[in-house]
Amino acid sequence: QVQLVDSGGGLVQAGGSLRLSCAASGLTFSIYKIGWYRQAPGKEREFVADLSWSSGSTAYADSVKGRFTISRDNAKNTVYLEMNSLKSEDTAIYYCNVVTVGLGTRYPYWGQGTQVTVSS
């Protein structure tokens, strides 16, 4: 059974830093992409950053470029999101997303979410 465990959220002051982790286990197929989305109260879930597992290429939302960095530990099937210079508008529940690919089909999975609260 696929399991994604998000962790690392918390309360931090504006300008501070946090590091989120997402550990994936029980995957049947290879990882295609792994990344993070977030959802603020009253808003839709939005893309934050992702990483292509085979190439290592990364992509970021404009709102976090230069402040957030996504990285991985291949051996542990774990992805990290280093968040610096946090702003109040970064407050949201952050969800890990993994897309695996097998037999020509992509399978998305979501973590349970971890709350990030930035106080101004």
Residue 74: is its pLDDT beyond 90?
Answer: no
The pLDDT of residue 78 is: 92
Short-list 26, 28, 46, CA closest to 38: 46
The pLDDT of residue 1 is: 85
Average pLDDT rounded to a whole number, residues 96-119? 94
Short-list 27, 89, 41, 25, CA closest to 63: 89
- Return the exposure string of 40-64: e unless at least 16 CB atoms fall within 10 Å of the residue's CB, then b: eeeeeeeebbbbebeeeeeebeeeb
29 pLDDT band (50/70/90 cuts)? confident
CA-based radius of gyration for the chain: 14
